[in-house]
Structure 1
Amino acid sequence: MSGANLVAEAFEAQRDRLRAVAHRTLGSHADAEDVVQEAWLRLSRQDPATIENLAGWLTTVVGRISLDVLRARQVRPDALHDESDRVDDSPAPEDDVALADSVGLALLVVLESLRPSERLAFVLHDLFAVPFDEIGQILGKSTNAAKMLASRARRKVQATGSPAGDGREQREVVQAFLAAARHGDFEGLLRVLDPEVRLTVDTPGGEVVVLGVTKVVAGARLSAAAAAQGRAVLVDGRPGVVAWREDGAPLSVMAFTVVGGRIVAIAVVVTDPVKLASMELAR
């Protein structure tokens, strides 16, 4: 077997794992496939003799490409986050229990509220057990900075996994948001939206991301107008609003992540039959 065939065979043995890493990082099957294909192209141009650990090399490449994709989603002059080593001082023990290796809508909504470096550090470490020194190399940060980023992300994920307040309180926050948006109540919106709230609109034509309370408030009235025609539901266990077609099929869904009495993320899926069909919607 030729050297090229050996490389191709070795890559195929890693493909499923690489696709899983990219999908859990990006939340999109299409983007994940693109990332894996780009990794293969880069590998095909690389001298195999220079790669000591193929699995590690591929994970690094997929991680860096995924990070570029996450950052590209956020590139708006008025919504850029500082991705420098501004990390928490609190400890991040390496023996923290990894969270469930799955990404349903609920976790994806939470992940969408994280900054790119936080999201990648959390996914690689907590879902795929990649060592922090390798994560630091991918992010271009120190090992300690990678630990802190993962720790900060983990706290946010765990907080939404066990949010303060019961379901009724969360629904009340969502209803307050919709009412304030419908009536143009700016102060009311500020009371229920987290300053770093993230709005993600997933349409067949692509994903639109809006960051920060100012931008979200600007588009909140439109969102509320659409939601007013829908019905309150639980979306994978989280408060949301769904609009139904005449035949009873879901047309669009808004899912809210509420932490500490404030909305930290809003995910909107519009007319995507495949994604809508995969959601657990309880009327």
Structure 2
Amino acid sequence: MTESLEEGDDMAGSAPEETLAGAFERERARLVAVAHRMLGSRADAEDAVQEAWLRLARQDAGAIDNLGGWLTTVVGRVCIDVLRSRRARPETSYEDRLPEFVLTEDSGVAPEDEALLADSVGTALLVVLDALGPAERLAFVLHDLFAVPFDDIGQIIGRSADATKMLASRARRKVQGTPRPAEERRKQREVVDAFLAAARGGDFDGLLRLLHPQVTWRSYSAHGLVGRDGAAAVAERVLHGIRAVATAVPALLNGEPALVGRTRTGRLMGVVSCTIVDGRIVAILSVSDPDRLARMGLREGELS
């Protein structure tokens, strides 16, 4: 998570027998990680890195002194173009895309789970990052998550090092409220538990107290995406859907509190994830599409 541009200094020809494709493959994992945190989508990240490869193939590799830095610059600029395109076309915004999810049991955090969650992109962090401008987002991701120097970032976005530092500082202030594991996770789980109890008890007013007035619900089923906005509409949907749920097992979805629901016969219904800010639920995402659940690694009999 703290790789800098200098680590790729000798990639462009340190060994005569090393092919350009081989040098690029050694950089791929880091580039995908950068792009993933910039774009919030594994598929989009892979596309951005592939574009970098296509551009590299058209270059005179012998003229590139620092392949790692050159590729980071290209990927960064491609990501900025993608983010600007999304802002110009709101229909492709974050909330209309299903991010890649890592589902784990909520039974305490083992060391191996910490590594898994650290490598994932938390839903809450993506929501916050999506509120940043493209240049802010790039400055924050490259500097705070990958320790890229401000001078190098400034070259990517066409700003001075001081201006880039200010962008990252402004982005950092916005991100500081993003929920973290440990104690914050416990507080979030308490909110989810209270939410589930209110739903099971048919407590409409109790649900409203736990929901942000502008809460959003995005539900992905085999038939597509359905959305609801506003506390009242979401509370009504919760009270209607809870009738079919016999068991709701706590889980973590990219480190966020979630529930795996099953019917009285044990059939898997799906996963519901909550994004919580300041003790209230600001977004709910549910997935019942069998294909998407399978891609998340959830099978019948697991987390049950």
TM-score interval, smaller chain: 0.5 to 0.7
Question: How big is the shift at 1:57?
Answer: 1.9
Q: Which residue of 2 aligns with 1:254?
A: 272
Alignment partner of 2:211 out of 192, 195, 199? 192
Per mean C-alpha deviation after superposition, the further-off stretch among 40-49 and 156-165 is: 156-165
Alignment partner of 1:111 out of 100, 118, 125? 125
Call closer, same or farther: CA 1:131–1:203 in 2, change over 3 Å: farther
Mapping of 1:193-212 within 5 angstroms? 193=212
Q: Which residue of 1 aligns with 2:250?
A: 234
C-alpha separation in 1, matches of 2:250 and 2:82 = 30
C-alpha separation in 2, matches of 1:105 and 1:249 = 31
Matched position secondary structure for 1:114? helix
Mapping of 1:2-151 within 5 angstroms? 6-48=19-61, 51-70=64-83, 72=85, 75-76=89-90, 103=117, 107-116=121-130, 117=132, 120-139=138-157, 142-151=163-172
C-alpha separation in 2, matches of 1:227 and 1:138 = 49
Call closer, same or farther: CA 1:57–1:200 in 2, change over 3 Å: farther
Question: How big is the shift at 1:14?
Answer: 0.9
Give the count of matched residue pairs. 252
Q: What is the TM-score of this pair, normalised by structure 2?
A: 0.60
Question: How big is the shift at 1:55?
Answer: 0.8
C-alpha separation in 1, matches of 2:172 and 2:285 = 24
Per mean C-alpha deviation after superposition, the further-off stretch among 164-173 and 197-206 is: 197-206
AA of the residue aligned to 2:244: Q
C-alpha separation in 2, matches of 1:139 and 1:189 = 43
CA RMSD of aligned residues (A): 4.6
Larger Rg: 2
Question: How big is the shift at 1:222?
Answer: 7.7
Matched position secondary structure for 2:173? helix
Q: Is the 8 A contact 2:37 2:121 kept in 1?
A: no
Q: Which residue of 2 aligns with 1:85?
A: none
C-alpha separation in 2, matches of 1:182 and 1:106 = 35
Q: Which residue of 1 aligns with 2:3?
A: none
Question: How big is the shift at 1:110?
Answer: 1.5
Q: Is the 8 A contact 1:160 1:257 kept in 2?
A: no
Q: What is the TM-score of this pair, normalised by structure 1?
A: 0.64
Question: How big is the shift at 1:204?
Answer: 7.5
Per mean C-alpha deviation after superposition, the further-off stretch among 159-168 and 120-129 is: 159-168
Q: Deviations over 1:155-213 (max 9, x none)?
A: 1335576439735641256349969x996x7x975872175x6666566798x798xxx
Alignment partner of 1:155 out of 145, 155, 176? 176
Q: Which residue of 2 aligns with 1:92?
A: none
C-alpha separation in 1, matches of 2:41 and 2:66 = 27
AA of the residue aligned to 1:146: L
C-alpha separation in 2, matches of 1:64 and 1:204 = 35
C-alpha separation in 2, matches of 1:245 and 1:277 = 16
Q: Which residue of 1 aligns with 2:288?
A: 270
Structure 1 unaligned segments of length 5 or more: list them: 81-99
Call closer, same or farther: CA 1:103–1:35 in 2, change over 3 Å: farther
Matched position secondary structure for 1:34? helix
Q: Is the 8 A contact 1:193 1:263 kept in 2?
A: yes
Q: Which residue of 1 aligns with 2:109?
A: none
Q: Is the 8 A contact 1:19 1:33 kept in 2?
A: yes
Matched position secondary structure for 2:90? coil
Structure 2 unaligned segments of length 5 or more: list them: 1-12, 95-113
AA of the residue aligned to 1:256: C
1:174 aligns with 2:189: no
